[in-house]
C-alpha cells in the first residue's frame, strides 16, 4: 500500500522536527562545552612536523645504548656529542621521554625532535631510557634518571662535553621526572648505582644536581585532576576518551596510571605517602639556589591540565624569583603537539639555555 499524501507530510514534518531538535541539542551542548569542543577540534586538526627516521647525523659522535646502570637492560641512554667549537666543549642537555610511565623510550618522537635540533645547535644531548612501571614501581624511574645524570657528569671528559652545569628536559610524565631531578638533592632518590660509581664517587663525589629545567606539559600533580578539568570547562568523558590508551589491562586493576606506577591507588594513600610523590614537598624543603626553569604548556591540552604547569610556575617563582622562572601557555596547542617542537619554539628554548648554562 502506498503512503497517502497526508502520511508523507507527517513523516516529512516529523523528520524536520527531529533534525531541528538535534541541531538545537547540538548547539546547546556546544554552548555548554564550547571549550571542550574547541580543544578536541584543535587536537584533531593539529599539523604534523616531518621526522625523517632515515636521516643520519654527521655533525659529531653518536653513542647509542650506553649502559648507565646494572639493575636492568633498560637502564641506558643515547648520547650525541657535536664537534667542539674551538676550545669550547658543548654543554650537556639531558632529555627524558614521556609516555605515562608505561610507554616510550629514548627514541620517542618528542625526544628525537629535541636531540635532533639541539645537537645541531652545539649541545651534547643525552636521551635517557628508564624502567617503566611494568618493570619497576615508584621511585625507580626517578632514581634511574638521577643515576643517568651522575653517569653523564662522571664521564664528561671521556665523551667530550662540559657537565659543570647541566640542563634537563622532560615531557608529560618525563616532565614530572625532570622536575623531580631538578628539585631533589643528593640524599634523595639516589638508590640506583651508576656504572663506575665506586671509583668516581670516591675520587670526585659526583652530584646529580641540575641547573636548568625545561618542562614540557609535565604531569606534575599525581592526585585527582577532576577539579582542574572542571575549572577549564573540559568534561570528564572527553578526558576519558582522549586518554583511553592509559587504561585497560596494563593497569592491573589500579584506578589510574599513576596509581599503577605507585602500586597503590592514590585515593588510598596516606598524607605521608603522597608527600613522597609530590614535587612540592621537595620544592618547599630543599635549597634550590642556582636553579632556573622554563615551563611550556598548551591551552588545548586534554591529557594534562595546563593548571599543573601554572601552579608549578607560580610556586617556583616564589622560591626562585620571577627572573629565574619562564612560563609560556601556548595558544591552540594540545598534548605533545608537533608545533611545540617547531624550529621557532625550540629556538626560544635555545635562547633560554644560552642565558642559563654557564
Tens-binned pLDDT, residue by residue, of the chain (358 aa) = 455 555 555 445 645 544 554 444 445 445 445 888 889 989 999 999 998 766 688 999 999 999 999 999 999 999 999 998 887 999 999 999 999 999 999 999 999 999 999 999 999 999 999 999 999 999 999 999 999 999 999 999 999 999 999 999 999 999 999 999 999 999 999 999 999 999 998 888 899 999 999 999 999 999 999 999 999 999 998 999 999 888 878 889 999 999 999 999 999 999 999 999 999 999 999 999 999 999 999 999 999 999 999 999 999 999 999 999 999 999 999 999 999 999 999 999 999 999 999 8
Q: Are 125 and 111 in contact (CB under 8 A)?
A: no
> Which pLDDT score is estimated for 6?
57
For the chain, give every domain's residue range.
5-44, 60-356
Signed CA dihedral, 11, 12, 17, 19: sign only: positive
> Which pLDDT score is estimated for 13?
60
Report CA-CA distances (Å) from 118 to 51, 100, 172, 225, 341: 15, 24, 19, 33, 11
> Which pLDDT score is estimated for 69?
97
Q: Pick from 251, 247, 271: which is nearest to 261 by CA? A: 251
> Which pLDDT score is estimated for 84?
85
> Which pLDDT score is estimated for 23?
46
> Which pLDDT score is estimated for 9?
55
CA angle at 180 for the pair 175 and 185, rounded to the nearest 5°: 155
Beta bridge pairs of residue 126 = 79, 94
Torsion of CA 270, 130, 127, 194, to 10 degrees: 100
> Which pLDDT score is estimated for 20?
52
Q: Which fold has domain 60-356?
A: Rossmann fold (3.40.50)
* Spatial distance between the Cα atoms of 38 and 156, rounded to a whole number of angstroms: 47
> Which pLDDT score is estimated for 265?
96
Q: Pick from 346, 348, 335, 341: which is nearest to 219 by CA? A: 335
What percent of the chain has a predicted confidence (pLDDT) above 90? 81
> Which pLDDT score is estimated for 11?
46
Amino acid at each position: 500500500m502506498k503512503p497517502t499524501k497526508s502520511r508523507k507530510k507527517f513523516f516529512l514534518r516529523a523528520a524536520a522536527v527531529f533534525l531541528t531538535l538535534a541541531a538545537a541539542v547540538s548547539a546547546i551542548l556546544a554552548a555548554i562545552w564550547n571549550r571542550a569542543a574547541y580543544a578536541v577540534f584543535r587536537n584533531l586538526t593539529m599539523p604534523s612536523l616531518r621526522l625523517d627516521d632515515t636521516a643520519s647525523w654527521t655533525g659529531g659522535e653518536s653513542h647509542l645504548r650506553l649502559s648507565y646502570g646494572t639493575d636492568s637492560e633498560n637502564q641506558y641512554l643515547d648520547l650525541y656529542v657535536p664537534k667542539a667549537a674551538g676550545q669550547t666543549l658543548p654543554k650537556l642537555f639531558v632529555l627524558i621521554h614521556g609516555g605515562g610511565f608505561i610507554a616510550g623510550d629514548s627514541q620517542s618522537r618528542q625526544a628525537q625532535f629535541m636531540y635532533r635540533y639541539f645537537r645541531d645547535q652545539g649541545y651534547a644531548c643525552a636521551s635517557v631510557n628508564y624502567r617503566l612501571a611494568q618493570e619497576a614501581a615508584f621511585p625507580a624511574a626517578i632514581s634511574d634518571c638521577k643515576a643517568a645524570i651522575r653517569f653523564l657528569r662522571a664521564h664528561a671528559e671521556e665523551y667530550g662535553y662540559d657537565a659543570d652545569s647541566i640542563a634537563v628536559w622532560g615531557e608529560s610524565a618525563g616532565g614530572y621526572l625532570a622536575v623531580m631531578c631538578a628539585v631533589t638533592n643528593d640524599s634523595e632518590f639516589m638508590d640506583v648505582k651508576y656504572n663506575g660509581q665506586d671509583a668516581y664517587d670516591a675520587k670526585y663525589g659526583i652530584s646529580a644536581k641540575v641547573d636548568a629545567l625545561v618542562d614540557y606539559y609535565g604531569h606534575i600533580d599525581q592526585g585527582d585532576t577532576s577539579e582542574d578539568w572542571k575549572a577549564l570547562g573540559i568534561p570528564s568523558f572527553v578526558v576519558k576518551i582522549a586518554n583511553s590508551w592509559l587504561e585497560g589491562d596494563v593497569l592491573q586493576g589500579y584506578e589510574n596510571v599513576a596509581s599503577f606506577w605507585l602500586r597503590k591507588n592514590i585515593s588510598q594513600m596516606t598524607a605521608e605517602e603522597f608527600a613522597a610523590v609530590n614535587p612540592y614537598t621537595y620544592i618547599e624543603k630543599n635549597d634550590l639556589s642556582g636553579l632556573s626553569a622554563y615551563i611550556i604548556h598548551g591551552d588545548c591540552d586534554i591529557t594534562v591540565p595546563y593548571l599543573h604547569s601554572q601552579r608549578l610556575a607560580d610556586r617556583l617563582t616564589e622560591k626562585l624569583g620571577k627572573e629565574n622562572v619562564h612560563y609560556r601557555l601556548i595558544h591552540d596547542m594540545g598534548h605533545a603537539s608537533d608545533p611545540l617542537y617547531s624550529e621557532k619554539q625550540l629556538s626560544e628554548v635555545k635562547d633560554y639555555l644560552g642565558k642559563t648554562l654557564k
